[in-house]
Structure 1
Amino acid sequence: MTDTIFLVLDMENDLIHADGPNGKSGYGEQVSSRGIIKHTRTAIDKARAVGIPIGFVRVGFSPDYRECPADSPIFSGARKNGLLKLGAWGTEIHPDLGKQDKDFDIVKHRVSPFYATNLEVVLRMLGTRHIICCGVSTNAVVQAMVREGHDRDFRITVLEDCCCALTAEEHASAVQNLKRFCSWSNSVEYAFE
C-alpha cells in the first residue's frame, strides 16, 4: 500500500492533441517541443510499475454547458466554440497516455482540481499524503493543484518536464512562483517508490 498518487492534470484532447483545437496554438507548440506526452507516459509507466495509483483530472461541461460560467475569461470560449464537452472526443484523455479502466477519473468544471470534485474523497480513501502531479497548463491547473494541495497538508511533487503553459515564459514564471509550495523533479530522475 502506498500513500502516494500520481495525478495527470487536464491532458485531454481539446487541450493537447495535435488534431485538437489547440494543436496549432501555443499549447500545441509547447506540448510538442517539450515532449510533454512522451515524458508523461514515461512517468505514468514508472508509477504503474511500483503500484502507485494514477488519477486523470479532466475539465469539462455538460453538452448544454450548464456548469460553464458565462463570464469567465478562461472558459467563455468553451461554450462559444463547442469545446470541453463531456462525452465528446475533446474531453477524452490523450490516447498516448495509456489511461486504464482502473485509473481514477476526476471531472472538474473550474480550474481547481479540488473545487466541487470527488478528488478529496479519492485521496482520503487511498490514505494519500503525497501527490505527484503534472499537467497543462503550469500556470493554471498545476498552480491550483499545488497551492490548494499544500494548504490541505499534502506533500506535492511536480514533474517539470511533464508540464507546459501557453508560452515558455509563462511556464518558467509559474515554476518560479511555485517553488515555495512544492518540490520539483522530472520524469527521468524521479524515483517512484
Structure 2
Amino acid sequence: MDAPRSIYLVLDMQNDLVHADGPSGKSPLGEQVQARQVLAKTARAIAKARAVGGLLVGFVRVGFSEGYPECPKGSQVFSGAPKLGLFKLGSWGTEIHPDLEQKAGDIQVVKHRVSPFYSTTLEAQLRANNVRRIYCSGVSTQAVVQAVVRDAHDRDYEVIVLEDACAAHSLEEHANSMGSISRFCRTDTTEAVVFCHP
C-alpha cells in the first residue's frame, strides 16, 4: 500500500471570478481578491507545495458545456450564467488565472455545482492517489471553500484551509465563513504553512 499523501486544491481561481479584466474584476469579490493579494499568495503556496516530493496540486473550476445542459435553472448561484455567458467550458473565463502555474499531472476537476465533490471525478482521483490530507484555498470562502471543508470532513479527509489565500464578497462574510467551518478544519497561512504528507 502506498503511503498516504497530501494535495493542495486551488479552488475556482478562474478568469471569470478572479481576473482583473474578468466579469468579477470590479465586483466586491474582485476587490477583495486584489486587496487581500489572493493571486500572489496562491502562486507562492503552489510553489511551496510543489517543492515537497509527491505532494499533489489540483485545480478546481466551474464549467458548463455548450448550451449549459448541466446548469441548474433554479439556482441563485448559477442560473444567471447562461444569459451572461459565464463559466463556458473552452472559453477564457474558465481558464485558471495565468499567474497560477499548472503542470502536466496536476489534478483537474470541472464542477457544475458549488461543491467539487458533487458529480465530479475529484474523489476518484484522490482515492487513486491515496490522498488523506487536503490543503485548500480559493474563492469564494462562503461557497466553494465551505463546501470543500464540510464535504471532505464527512469523507474522512483531514482539511487545512490557507485562510489568507481565500476571499469572499466582504471581509465580514469571509470572517463569518471561516468561523462557521472552524470546527471541521484547521487553518493556516500561505507564509506559515509547512506542506507535508500525513
Same fold (TM over 0.5): yes
TM-score, length-scaled by structure 1: 0.98
1:78 aligned to 2:81? yes
CA distance in 1, matches of 2:80, 2:175: 25
C-alpha deviation, 1:96, in angstroms: 0.1
TM-score, length-scaled by structure 2: 0.96
C-alpha deviation, 1:190, in angstroms: 0.4
1:115 aligned to 2:123? no
Is the 8 Å Cα contact of residues 14 and 97 (structure 2) preserved in structure 1? yes
C-alpha deviation, 1:101, in angstroms: 2.3
Q: Please provide the CA RMSD for this pair.
A: 0.9
Which residue identity does 1:86 align to in structure 2? L
1:61 aligned to 2:64? yes
Deviation string, structure 1 residues 111-137 (Cα, Å, up to 9, x no partner): 001000000011101101100000100
C-alpha deviation, 1:2, in angstroms: 5.3
1:95 aligned to 2:120? no
Residue 190 (structure 1) aligns with = 193
CA distance in 2, matches of 1:175, 1:123: 24
Residue 158 (structure 1) aligns with = 161
Is the 8 Å Cα contact of residues 4 and 132 (structure 2) preserved in structure 1? no
Deviation string, structure 1 residues 53-106 (Cα, Å, up to 9, x no partner): 100000110121000011110001211100000000000000001112221110
Which residue identity does 1:83 align to in structure 2? L
- Note closer, same or farther for the CA distance 1:179–1:142 as it changes in structure 2 (3 Å cut): same
Residue 41 (structure 2) aligns with = 39
Structure 1 moving runs of 4+ over 6 Å = none
Which residue identity does 1:18 align to in structure 2? A
Instruction: Give the SS at the match of 1:95.
Output: coil
Which residue identity does 1:47 align to in structure 2? A
Residue 130 (structure 2) aligns with = 127
Task: Give aligned-pair identity as a percent.
Answer: 57
Structure 1 unpaired stretches of 5+: none
Which residue identity does 2:64 align to in structure 1? F
Relative to total residues, which structure has the larger helix share, 1 or 2?
1
Task: Identify the match of residue 5 of structure 1 among 7, 14, 17.
Answer: 7
Which residue identity does 1:123 align to in structure 2? L
Which residue identity does 2:126 align to in structure 1? L
CA distance in 2, matches of 1:97, 1:88: 17
